[in-house]
C-alpha cells in the first residue's frame, strides 16, 4: 500500500510542520508502506507536554476516509490499566485491599482446586499471578463459576496461586465485575465518572455512548488470502445484554480486559496520569503509592505490575513502563519514562504482523523513530 503526498497532507493538522515533523512524517509513511499498514495514529509526550499528535492513512479503506486525531480506537489490552486504576481508587478509599480474597469480593468460589488452601487475591488477578487461564474463554463469568459450568476447573493452571505468571484476560473481566460489586455502579459508568471525566477525556467502554462516526474500523489480516477485512465484532453493541444485566456478573459485556475506545491523543493524556504517579490534568486520580504499586513487578519471571509492565528492550538504555494491545487486527502501544517525563502512544487499525523484542514491529519502529526525532 503506497501513501502518496496528498494523502499525507490531508491527514496532517493545520499547523505548519517543523523540520523534525517533516522527518517524522516521511519516516512513518515509509514504515506504513513496509508493514502494509491501513492507518496509524501517534502522540508524543516530552517534558510532561504533548508535543506531537498526528494521524496517517485510512480510517476506512473502502471509501478512502482518512483517520483524524479525534477518532477512536478500541485499544484492546491497554484497557486493563483503566480497570486497575479504578480498583486502586477503592484501595485508596479503604473500601478494599489488594490482598482481599477474590471469592469474597465476587460472590462465588475463585479457588484453584489443586491448591484449595491458597486464596486467590485481587492483587493476583491484577498481576496475572492468580493461576487462572483462558482455556474456557473469558467473555462471561459462567466459564469459571462452579454453579454454572461443570468444567470450571479447566480455568486453573497446575502451579500455586501467587507463584507463577500467565497472561489471562479472565483475570480482568473478574476484576471489572468486582468493581461493580463493591461500588454498585455499572463498570462503564464508573470509569466514565471517576477517570475519563476528571481528566477531560472522550471515550469509554460502552460503544453506544459514543459517536459511532468517530470509531475507526479495525482490519484483520488473513494470511491465507493475503488480504485485510473489517472485523465486525470490534464495536458490537451491548444493548441486548443490558436488557437483562446483572450487576457484578454481566460485566464482561463491556470487556474490562480490552474494551476501552479512545483516541491516541486522549490516551496520551491518560498515560501522563501514570507518568506523574497518579495525577493528571491537575487532578489526583489515585495516590502516588498506588500508582507506583501498579508500576512495580510482582512476578520474578515477568516485569508485570498491576496492568502495567516495564521493558528494557523497547528503547536502548531506557526503562519504559506501559502496555500493548492486540485485538481484531488492531495493535496498540502506550509506553512512558516516568523519571524523564516522556512517552509515546502508537495505534494502528491493521498491519502485517511481525515482532521486534516482543512488540509489534510497526509499533516498535515507530516508537524508536519518534524517540530519535523528538526526544533524543
10-37 pLDDT per residue, tens: 444 434 346 778 888 999 999 999 999 9
154-183 pLDDT per residue, tens: 999 999 999 999 999 999 999 999 999 999
C-alpha angle with apex 42: 39 to 45, nearest 5 degrees? 180
Nearest to 281 by CA among 296, 298, 268, 294: 268
293-350 pLDDT per residue, tens: 999 998 777 899 999 999 999 999 999 999 999 999 999 999 999 999 999 999 999 9
User: Does a structural domain hold residue 188?
Assistant: yes
- The grid coordinates of residue 39 equal 492507518
* Domain span including residue 181: 74-310
Instruction: Sort 323 into a burial class: Cβ within 10 Å, 0-12 / 13-18 / 19+.
Output: buried
67-98 pLDDT per residue, tens: 999 999 999 999 999 999 999 999 999 999 99
User: Does a structural domain hold residue 199?
Assistant: yes
Over residues 187-195, the mean pLDDT reads 98
Establish how many alpha carbons lie within 13 A of residue 284's alpha carbon, considering only the half-sphere containing its beta carbon: 11
Mean pLDDT score across all residues of the chain: 94
Which CATH number covers residue 276?
Answer: 3.40.710.10
Task: Find how far residue 61's CA is from the centre of its chain.
Answer: 24
What pLDDT score was predicted for residue 302? Answer: 86
User: Does a structural domain hold residue 168?
Assistant: yes
User: Does a structural domain hold residue 221?
Assistant: yes
Q: Which residues of 224-235 are buried (b: 16+ CB within 10 A; e: fewer)?
A: eeeebebbeebb
What pLDDT score was predicted for residue 17? Answer: 47
Q: What DSSP state is assigned to residue 132?
A: B
User: Which run of H or of E encompasses 283?
Assistant: strand 283-284
User: Does a structural domain hold residue 39?
Assistant: no
User: Does a structural domain hold residue 51?
Assistant: no
d(CA 281, CA 113): 45
The full DSSP string for 187-220 is: HHHHHIIIIIHHHT--EES-GGGS-GGGBPP-EE
User: Does a structural domain hold residue 344?
Assistant: no
What pLDDT score was predicted for residue 20? Answer: 74
pLDDT bin (cut points 50, 70, 90) of residue 352 is very high
What pLDDT score was predicted for residue 74? Answer: 98
User: Does a structural domain hold residue 274?
Assistant: yes
**Structural domains of the chain, count:** 1
Over residues 45-69, the mean pLDDT reads 97
Please indicate, yes or no, whether the overall pTM of this predicted structure exceeds 0.85: yes
What pLDDT score was predicted for residue 234? Answer: 96
Amino acid at each position: 500500500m503506497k501513501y502518496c503526498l496528498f494523502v499525507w497532507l490531508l491527514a496532517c493538522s493545520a499547523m505548519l510542520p517543523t523540520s523534525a515533523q517533516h522527518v517524522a512524517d516521511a519516516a512513518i509513511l515509509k514504515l506504513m508502506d513496509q508493514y502494509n499498514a491501513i492507518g496509524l495514529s501517534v502522540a508524543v509526550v516530552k517534558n510532561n507536554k504533548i508535543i506531537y499528535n498526528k494521524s496517517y492513512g485510512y480510517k476506512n479503506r473502502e471509501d478512502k476516509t482518512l483517520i483524524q486525531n479525534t477518532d477512536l480506537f478500541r485499544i484492546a489490552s491497554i484497557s486493563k490499566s483503566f480497570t486497575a486504576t479504578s480498583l486502586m481508587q477503592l484501595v485508596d478509599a479503604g473500601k478494599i485491599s489488594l490482598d482481599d480474597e477474590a471469592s469474597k469480593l465476587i460472590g462465588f468460589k475463585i479457588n484453584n482446586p489443586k491448591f484449595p488452601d491458597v486464596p486467590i487475591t485481587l492483587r493476583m488477578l491484577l498481576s496475572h499471578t492468580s493461576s487462572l487461564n483462558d482455556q474456557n474463554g473469558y467473555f462471561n463469568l459462567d466459564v469459571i463459576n462452579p454453579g454454572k459450568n461443570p468444567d470450571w476447573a479447566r480455568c486453573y493452571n497446575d502451579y500455586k496461586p501467587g507463584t507463577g505468571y500467565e497472561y489471562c484476560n479472565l483475570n480482568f473481566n473478574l476484576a471489572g465485575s468486582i468493581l461493580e460489586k463493591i461500588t454498585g455502579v455499572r463498570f462503564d459508568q464508573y470509569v466514565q465518572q471517576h477517570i475519563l471525566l476528571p481528566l477531560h477525556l472522550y471515550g469509554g467502554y460502552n460503544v453506544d455512548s459514543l459517536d459511532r462516526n468517530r470509531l475507526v474500523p479495525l482490519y484483520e489480516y488473513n494470511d491465507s488470502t493475503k488480504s485485510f477485512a473489517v472485523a465486525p465484532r470490534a464495536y458490537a453493541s451491548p444493548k441486548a445484554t443490558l436488557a437483562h444485566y446483572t450487576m457484578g456478573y454481566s460485566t464482561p459485556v463491556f470487556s474490562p480486559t480490552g474494551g476501552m475506545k479512545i483516541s491516541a491523543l486522549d490516551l496520551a493524556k491518560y498515560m501522563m496520569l501514570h507518568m506523574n504517579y497518579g495525577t493528571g490534568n491537575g487532578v489526583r486520580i489515585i495516590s502516588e503509592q498506588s500508582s507506583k504499586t501498579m508500576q512495580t513487578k510482582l512476578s520474578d519471571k515477568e516485569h508485570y505490575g498491576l496492568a502495567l509492565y516495564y521493558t528494557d528492550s523497547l528503547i536502548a538504555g531506557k526503562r519504559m513502563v506501559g502496555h500493548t494491545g492486540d485485538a481484531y487486527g488492531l495493535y496498540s502501544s502506550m509506553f512512558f519514562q516516568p523519571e524523564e517525563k516522556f512517552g509515546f502512544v502508537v495505534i494502528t487499525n491493521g498491519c502485517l504482523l511481525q515482532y521486534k523484542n516482543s512488540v509489534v514491529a510497526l509499533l516498535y519502529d515507530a516508537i524508536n523513530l519518534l524517540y530519535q526525532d523528538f526526544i533524543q
